[in-house]
Structure 1
Amino acid sequence: MLNIADALHRWCREARPFALATVVDVRGSAPLPAGTSVAVDQGGNAVGSISGGCVEGAVYELCRQVLRDQGAPQRAWFGYSDDDAFAVGLTCGGELDVLVQRIDPAAHPHLGTALAEVAEGRPAALAQVVAGPDGLIGPTLSVLGDSWIADGVLGVGPTGQAVADRATALLRAGRTALVSLGGDTDTCPDRLSVLVHVAATRPRMLIFGAVDFAAALSQAGRFLGYHVTVCDARPVFATKARFPHADEVVVDWPHRYLERTEVDSRTAVCVLTHDAKFDIPLLQLALDLPVGYIGAMGSHRTHTERLHRLREADVTEEQLARLRSPIGLDLGARTPEETAVSITAEIITHANHASGLPLSQRTGPIHRPTAHGLGDDQPIGEDVSARLEAETAVAEPDWSLATVRALAANRGDGH
């Protein structure tokens, strides 16, 4: 739902009820990740998208129906094989598992506060119960800073604390995920699946070396959503005028700046100086930090000499294996702009544990979960995939509201 936080915040402020349709799980070549939402208010106004246009009409009608009925949340699925997808309008193929529920801001008073934080660019987590026994679907919980507040089943007993603990951990990691909990007396007797939507601070890109390549890379990094810092010890080169796309330009020795700045598992460290007096102390420190990516510019010869110097500085082979050098993917890049694309392509590939191969040389789904998607946590239910496969084989290519409701009922979810 955080993809439409601005609009939902406004609707909550206006006490405007709305239906929220959220992608709970994805399979195959679904275009948008779990946690993506579309919302429809009582006037028929819609914001957001869950499929890039493929099944929006059917989801819109289901939202209108849920608003009219004011009933329990409903689950629906959309899924056809890639071969049949175009014929029925699901142009990307894949499968979507969608939860549609009515949201009355008066019944979720904390929701507007959390959405306001997200709209202002501050970190927050919103947890939403998406599967469980009848009557337990739909409650929400917000984590803001060191505190949390919830409604429904999450607002009483140990269940809320258990959800808040998981949501807080995911907020620190900066990732949206589906989690399962309950089934024991210490948390709650009922097994629940909870989708935790996370809006984290922007990941950091630290560029060391105030060179022309850094100017292009800072622009590319800003475009990708990074908070970009350019650092160089030479004040004549490290100026805001030379790096207008950087969020900050720092004049300091690289390793000294890295020692005092905050980093996390999403941080990308790009060393573009290829000067040993800067590189070696900087990389010696960086390779010992829990950052997500470390790359260094230079030729293969420079890289070999750099490895020798780092080994002399007692950097271990395990640490050296984290270093991407020469930095970037083999795109044949020559200009600073092309080199920036090469570097950011490698950062994206590394973050998503992808191959970097042309899609034409790969088989299977194009879209897949990443470290910022569902990742390690459990899907809803133990047999969702089997049921989706069986239902897909017999479903008619009809996305009318009646068909969607019938398919939801056939799943046996009871809501």
Structure 2
Amino acid sequence: MLDIADELRAWYAAQREFALATVVSVTGSAPRGPGASLAVDHRGTALGSLSGGCVESAVHELCLEAIASGKGGLHRFGYSDDDAFAVGLTCGGVLDVLITPVRGDDPVRPVIHRVLDVTAGGARAALARVVSGPQEQLGRALAVHADGSYEGGLGAGPALDRAAARRIRGLLAAGRTGTAELGTAGGLCGEPLTLLVESAAEPPRLLVYGAIDFAAALARIGAFLGHRVTVCDARPVFATPARFPDADEVVVDWPHRHLAAEWDAGRLDPRTAVCVLTHDAKFDVPLLELALRLPLSYVGAMGSRRTHTERARRLREEGVPDAALARLRSPIGLDLGGATPEETALAIAAELTAVRHGGSVRPLARSTGPVHRRAKVP
């Protein structure tokens, strides 16, 4: 739902009734993951996409039926060997899709509206909807905020809502969208219940240390990939917004001091990537010593193999264990054969993406298994 949040806010403002179809889970190969949504209003107007076109027509009809009847539910769409172009996914995947009517008097309507309003201002919030469980609870919704407060209800009393809010808050803190299992009595007690949790969190951080031309190219591609990009350097003559127009912020500070301050302030999380482009020991060593001790998704450092060997020696002297050094991506990036700042930035972004999604970095034409992977980290 959050992928079409702006459009849905406009529908709420216009008091439109609609049905919301959201991907709950994916098996095998499918273009989009959990949280991808298609909304259809009472006139048949559609927003969003679930599968790049494979099942949209069938889901469109189910949404119109849900608006008319007030009843939604979970639907499965999968590949059929007998008729690959029937309702299903010709790429071989299976989608579970939750359809929820959002009409004027539906209890889910104000809950969804609240999440849309809160996240429009940049706040963190999560929307949880009942995917499977007792029939009378299907589609019921709970909005959970970063401070643990919640609104709405899952239809089985306050004990369930409190237990669900605790579970959902953990997913929200990690910025994850997925399913959560618990019981209708709260915790693991009662009849099994499955929730689809959609988290609205800040974009993942990309911290680029070293205000050089390679950093400008990396900031540009990092922003394109949806990161919040920070460029930091201790030299004020180089660290200027004019040199890095694609960065969200340009900071003049010693790199290790900046990283420590960001971590202590709670502005980093396990999705954060750190790219060290300075290849100067007085900057690199204290920065990497800290970065390799933090639970970050990616830590890479630029430099030749000789530079890497010397850097690793200095880090060991500072007490960095081999297990932590093994996390260091150095020399940074994949071997794409390029050398320009733009080509190097592409190589770094490719490695970062492969790490995030568990990619093999082999050509797809020479690999087997699903083409589309789900992210390993939030």
Q: Secondary structure at the match of 1:290?
A: coil
CA distance in 2, matches of 1:288, 1:186: 33
Q: Secondary structure at the match of 2:4?
A: helix
Deviations 1:193-232 (Å, cap 9, x if unpaired)?
0000011111111100001100000001111111111111
* Alpha carbons of structure 1 residues 84 and 215: separation in structure 2 relative to 1, 3 Å: farther
AA aligned opposite 1:149:
E
Q: TM-score normalised to the size of structure 2?
A: 0.93
Q: Secondary structure at the match of 1:85?
A: coil
Aligned 8 A contact 2:281 2:311 in 1? yes
Q: Secondary structure at the match of 1:337?
A: helix
Shift of 1:183: 5.9
Shift of 1:255: 0.8
AA aligned opposite 1:194:
L
Could you tell me which residue of structure 2 aligns to residue 360 of structure 1? 365
CA distance in 1, matches of 2:342, 2:216: 9
Shift of 1:88: 6.4
AA aligned opposite 2:345:
A
Shift of 1:77: 1.6
Shift of 1:84: 5.7
Is 1:18 aligned with 2:18? Answer: yes
* Alpha carbons of structure 1 residues 254 and 18: separation in structure 2 relative to 1, 3 Å: same
CA distance in 1, matches of 2:59, 2:135: 22
CA distance in 2, matches of 1:185, 1:272: 49
* Alpha carbons of structure 1 residues 89 and 81: separation in structure 2 relative to 1, 3 Å: closer
Could you tell me which residue of structure 1 aligns to residue 238 of structure 2? 237
Could you tell me which residue of structure 2 aligns to residue 102 of structure 1? 101
* Alpha carbons of structure 1 residues 370 and 303: separation in structure 2 relative to 1, 3 Å: same
Deviations 1:271-325 (Å, cap 9, x if unpaired)?
0010111101111111111111100000111100101111111111111111000
Is 1:275 aligned with 2:275? Answer: no
AA aligned opposite 1:58:
A
Q: Which runs of 5+ in 2 are unaligned?
A: none
CA distance in 2, matches of 1:242, 1:289: 29
AA aligned opposite 1:137:
L
Aligned 8 A contact 2:177 2:197 in 1? yes
1:249-328 equivalence runs, <5 A: 249-261=250-262, 262-328=267-333
AA aligned opposite 1:44:
G
Could you tell me which residue of structure 1 aligns to residue 30 of structure 2? 30
Shift of 1:185: 6.6
* Alpha carbons of structure 1 residues 5 and 66: separation in structure 2 relative to 1, 3 Å: same
Is 1:148 aligned with 2:147? Answer: no
CA distance in 1, matches of 2:30, 2:81: 10
Aligned 8 A contact 1:184 1:190 in 2? yes
Could you tell me which residue of structure 2 aligns to residue 406 of structure 1? none
Aligned-residue sequence identity (percent) comes to: 56
Is 1:90 aligned with 2:89? Answer: yes
Could you tell me which residue of structure 2 aligns to residue 397 of structure 1? none
Match of 1:332 among 329, 333, 337: 337
AA aligned opposite 2:97:
V
Q: Secondary structure at the match of 2:155?
A: helix
Q: Secondary structure at the match of 1:112?
A: helix
Shift of 1:125: 0.5
CA distance in 2, matches of 1:159, 1:152: 7
Aligned 8 A contact 2:67 2:103 in 1? no
Could you tell me which residue of structure 2 aligns to residue 215 of structure 1? 216
Could you tell me which residue of structure 1 aligns to residue 124 of structure 2? 123
Q: Secondary structure at the match of 1:241?
A: helix
Aligned 8 A contact 1:27 1:96 in 2? yes
Higher relative contact order (CA 8 A, sep 6+): 1
CA distance in 2, matches of 1:214, 1:185: 49
AA aligned opposite 1:66:
A
1:40-119 equivalence runs, <5 A: 40-70=40-70, 72-80=71-79, 85=84, 90-104=89-103, 106=105, 107-108=107-108, 109-119=110-120
AA aligned opposite 1:6:
D
* Alpha carbons of structure 1 residues 42 and 68: separation in structure 2 relative to 1, 3 Å: same
Aligned 8 A contact 1:31 1:51 in 2? yes
* Alpha carbons of structure 1 residues 197 and 243: separation in structure 2 relative to 1, 3 Å: same
Aligned 8 A contact 1:271 1:279 in 2? yes
Could you tell me which residue of structure 2 aligns to residue 388 of structure 1? none
AA aligned opposite 2:298:
Y
Q: Which runs of 5+ in 1 are unaligned?
A: 374-415
Aligned 8 A contact 1:129 1:140 in 2? yes
Q: Secondary structure at the match of 1:130?
A: strand
1:198-209 equivalence runs, <5 A: 198-209=199-210
* Alpha carbons of structure 1 residues 350 and 334: separation in structure 2 relative to 1, 3 Å: same
Q: Secondary structure at the match of 1:76?
A: strand
Q: TM-score normalised to the size of structure 1?
A: 0.85
* Alpha carbons of structure 1 residues 348 and 153: separation in structure 2 relative to 1, 3 Å: same
* Alpha carbons of structure 1 residues 277 and 186: separation in structure 2 relative to 1, 3 Å: closer
Q: Secondary structure at the match of 1:126?
A: strand
AA aligned opposite 1:141:
L
AA aligned opposite 2:249:
E
CA distance in 1, matches of 2:339, 2:186: 62
* Alpha carbons of structure 1 residues 138 and 304: separation in structure 2 relative to 1, 3 Å: same
Aligned 8 A contact 1:82 1:93 in 2? no
Q: Secondary structure at the match of 1:153?
A: coil
Shift of 1:26: 1.1
